[in-house]
């Protein structure tokens, strides 16, 4: 029995803010479907060259008040990055809170505007300790 990964779906409240967040991570829109009848949009975003591994942003046009404030029941998305310090600095410079800083040079967590946890993992070996990350405390939860 063959199995093939297709995508991960997350519901979003503010499509523009959510897309901007995933664009900061480096994802690009690869496909979109708007349903007039169902009153929703599906936007697929993936890293360049990895279009087969998208996250699907599901946006309900009439709002989505049933979304919880804390989406911990979901778990998290995970992406490897070439330089975790550079990525965290880029995200922080664009207003994203680093919930779990990469103190170990290996792993960090941030959250999307819809409280989806995103794990960032250093590709290859962990980077050596560097400030401000090495002494930065965690913020909130991830």
Known catalytic residues are: 119
Distances (CA, A) of 6 to 14, 55, 58, 114, 117: 24, 9, 15, 22, 20
- Number of Cβ within a 10 Å radius of residue 13: 15
Torsion angle in degrees (nearest 10) through CA of 65, 66, 67, 73: 170
Q: How many CA atoms lie within 13 A of 138 on its CB side?
A: 10
């Amino acid at each position: 029995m063959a199995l093939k990964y297709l995508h991960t779906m997350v519901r979003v409240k503010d499509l523009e803010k959510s897309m901007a967040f995933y664009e900061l991570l480096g994802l690009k829109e690869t496909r979109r479907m708007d349903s007039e009848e169902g009153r929703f949009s599906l936007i697929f975003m993936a890293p360049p060259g990895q279009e087969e591994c998208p996250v699907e942003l599901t946006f309900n046009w009439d709002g989505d008040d049933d979304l919880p404030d804390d989406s911990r029941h979901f778990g998290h998305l995970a992406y490897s990055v070439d330089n975790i310090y550079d990525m965290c600095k880029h995200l922080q410079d664009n207003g994203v809170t680093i919930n779990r800083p990469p103190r170990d040079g290996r792993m960090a967590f941030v959250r999307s505007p819809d409280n989806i946890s995103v794990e960032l993992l250093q590709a290859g070996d962990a980077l050596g300790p560097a400030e401000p990350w090495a002494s930065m405390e965690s913020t909130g939860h991830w």
